[in-house]
Chains A and B, each alone.
Chain A
Amino acid sequence: MTFFDHLLGGIASGSVIALMAIALVLVWRSTRVVNFAQVGQAMFTTFLALAVYRGTGNWLISLIAAILAGAILGLIVHFLVMRPVRRQDGSGAIIATFGVLIALQASASMIWGVDPQAYPPIVDIIGFEAFGRTWPFSRYDVLVLGVTVLLVLLLSVVFTRTSLGLRMRASAFNPTVARLSGVRVSQMLALGWALAGSIGAIAGVLIAPTFSVTPYSFDILLILAFTVAVIGGLDSLVGAVAFGIGTGLVLSLVSGYSDSGNASIVALVLLALNLLLKPEGVFAHHHSRSV
Chain B
Amino acid sequence: MLRIENLSVSYGAIQALNDVSLEVPPGRVTAVIGANGAGKSTLMRTLAGLEKPQSGQVIFNGEVISGRKPEDIVRMGIALVPEGRSTISELSVEDNLKLGGMWRSHAQRNASLTRVYSLFPILKERHHMGADTLSGGERQQLAIGRALMTGPQLLLLDEPSLGLAPLIVTQILELVALMARDSGLAVLLVEQNATVALRIARTGVVLNLGEVAGSGTSAELLASEELRHIYLGTGS
Query: Which residues of A approach B to under 8 Å, CB–CB?
Result: 163, 166-167, 169-170, 173-174, 176-185, 285
CA distance A184 to B91 in the complex (A): 18
Could you tell me the distance in whole angstroms from the C-beta of A95 to the nearest C-beta in chain B? 27
Q: B91–A181 contact, CB under 8 A?
A: no
Q: B99–A178 contact, CB under 8 A?
A: yes
Q: B71–A167 contact, CB under 8 A?
A: no
Could you tell me the distance in whole angstroms from the C-beta of B62 to the nearest C-beta in chain A? 21
Q: A182–B101 contact, CB under 8 A?
A: yes
Q: A182–B75 contact, CB under 8 A?
A: yes
Q: B91–A176 contact, CB under 8 A?
A: no
Q: B101–A166 contact, CB under 8 A?
A: no
What are 5 A-B contacts defined by CB distance under 8 Å? Answer: A169-B91, A177-B82, A177-B88, A180-B48, A180-B50
- The reply to whether the CB of B90 lies closer than 8 angstroms to some CB of chain A is yes
Q: A179–B90 contact, CB under 8 A?
A: no
Q: B69–A179 contact, CB under 8 A?
A: yes
- The reply to whether the CB of B150 lies closer than 8 angstroms to some CB of chain A is yes
Partner of A185 from the list B71, B75, B80, B149 (CB cut-off 8 Å) is B71
* CB-CB nearest in chain A for B98: A166
* CB-CB nearest in chain A for B143: A177
Residues of A close to B149: CB separation below 8 A = 181
Residues of A close to B101: CB separation below 8 A = 181-182
Number of interface residues of B (CB under 8 A): 27
Residues of A close to B39: CB separation below 8 A = none
Could you tell me the distance in whole angstroms from the C-beta of B145 to the nearest C-beta in chain A? 11
Q: B75–A180 contact, CB under 8 A?
A: no
Q: B48–A174 contact, CB under 8 A?
A: no
Residues of A close to B79: CB separation below 8 A = 180
Q: A169–B90 contact, CB under 8 A?
A: yes
Residues of B close to A179: CB separation below 8 A = 50, 69-71, 74
Q: A181–B99 contact, CB under 8 A?
A: yes
* CB-CB nearest in chain B for A285: B90
Q: Which chain B residues (4-44) contact chain A, with CB distance < 8 Å?
A: none
Interface bits B143-181 vs A (CB < 8 Å: 1, else 0): 000110110000000000000000000000000000000
Q: B71–A182 contact, CB under 8 A?
A: yes
Could you tell me the distance in whole angstroms from the C-beta of A249 to the nearest C-beta in chain B? 30
Q: B74–A182 contact, CB under 8 A?
A: yes
Question: When A and B form their complex, what is the total count of cross-chain residue pairs whose Cβ atoms lie within 8 Å?
Answer: 68
Besides A174-B88, A181-B149, 13 more A-B contacts (Cβ < 8 Å) are: A169-B90, A169-B91, A170-B91, A173-B88, A179-B69, A180-B82, A180-B147, A181-B101, A181-B146, A182-B71, A182-B103, A183-B99, A184-B71
Residues of A close to B71: CB separation below 8 A = 179, 182-185
Could you tell me the distance in whole angstroms from the C-beta of B160 to the nearest C-beta in chain A? 15
CA distance A223 to B115 in the complex (A): 51
Partner of A166 from the list B50, B89, B99 (CB cut-off 8 Å) is B99
CB contact under 8 A between A170 and B70, given known A163-B98, A183-B99: no
CA distance A225 to B193 in the complex (A): 52
CA distance A163 to B101 in the complex (A): 11
Residues of A close to B150: CB separation below 8 A = 181-182
* CB-CB nearest in chain A for B70: A179
Q: B90–A181 contact, CB under 8 A?
A: no
Could you tell me the distance in whole angstroms from the C-beta of A189 to the nearest C-beta in chain B? 13
Partner of A181 from the list B50, B69, B89, B100 (CB cut-off 8 Å) is B100
Q: Which chain B residues (92-128) contact chain A, with CB distance < 8 Å?
A: 95, 98-103
CA distance A170 to B90 in the complex (A): 9
Partner of A180 from the list B80, B90, B98, B102 (CB cut-off 8 Å) is B80
Q: B87–A181 contact, CB under 8 A?
A: no
Could you tell me the distance in whole angstroms from the C-beta of B71 to the nearest C-beta in chain A? 5
Could you tell me the distance in whole angstroms from the C-beta of B231 to the nearest C-beta in chain A? 30
Q: A163–B102 contact, CB under 8 A?
A: yes
Residues of A close to B86: CB separation below 8 A = 176-177, 180
Q: Which 7 A-B pairs have the closest CB atoms?
A: A179-B70, A182-B74, A181-B99, A181-B100, A173-B90, A174-B88, A173-B88
Residues of B close to A181: CB separation below 8 A = 74, 99-102, 146, 149-150
Could you tell me the distance in whole angstroms from the C-beta of A192 to the nearest C-beta in chain B? 16
Residues of B close to A173: CB separation below 8 A = 88-91
Residues of B close to A177: CB separation below 8 A = 82, 86-88, 99, 146
* CB-CB nearest in chain A for B149: A181
Residues of A close to B87: CB separation below 8 A = 177
Residues of A close to B48: CB separation below 8 A = 180
| A163, A177, A182: most-surrounded residue (chain B CB, <10 A) | A182
Q: B90–A183 contact, CB under 8 A?
A: no
Residues of B close to A178: CB separation below 8 A = 88, 99
Residues of B close to A285: CB separation below 8 A = 90
Could you tell me the distance in whole angstroms from the C-beta of B76 to the nearest C-beta in chain A? 10
Q: B75–A176 contact, CB under 8 A?
A: no
Could you tell me the distance in whole angstroms from the C-beta of B116 to the nearest C-beta in chain A? 13
CA distance A177 to B146 in the complex (A): 10
